[in-house]
Amino acid sequence: MTDTTRATGHFTAADWKEHPVTPADASPRLARATVTNTFTGGIEAAGTDCAYAVVYVPGGTGTFAGIELFSGRLDGRVGAFAVEERGSFGADGTVRCVFEVVAGSGTGELAGLRGTGEFTARHGEERVAYTFAYTLG
């Protein structure tokens, strides 16, 4: 049996570009977003690539789903991997997200990576804490 390791750290959003899919006055409204993040801590990855589909519903809330690609280090091991992300955001600007490693996406020393993580971002925060529980093998 493989032991689960817990990694923690922070990330910052370096770039957010959003493109409407439906008209601005549509309800619900659909958009695409591309994001670049920088992770520090257990995950060390500068300039991740992330693509989201975002649904805005009345009241300033909504949901999103996307894929983020990491290239860098995980607890010192070099490689790349992808995660699938699903989350929601509230009218107060709080974003909650869970993510899971895409099966088979780990490369280099991260081959065989499996894991799940989460973060909660509050409006105005520059650095967002994350947790990531994973196994290798």
What is the C-alpha separation between 22 and 71, in angstroms, rounded? 32
Predicted pLDDT at 78? 98
Amino acid present at 38: T
Predicted pLDDT at 123? 85
* Angle, vertex CA 41, rays to CA 40 and CA 42, nearest 5: 120
Q: Report the half-sphere exposure of 119 (CA within 13 A, side-chain side).
A: 19
In the predicted model, is pLDDT for residue 80 greater than 90?
yes
Predicted pLDDT at 110? 98
DSSP state of 45: B
Q: pLDDT higher for 24 or 7?
A: 7
Read off φ and ψ for residue 11, nearest 5 degrees: -135, 155
Q: Report the half-sphere exposure of 16 (CA within 13 A, side-chain side).
A: 6
- Quote the radius of gyration of the chain (alpha carbons, Å): 16
95-127 confidence digits (pLDDT tens): 999 999 999 999 999 999 999 999 999 988 899
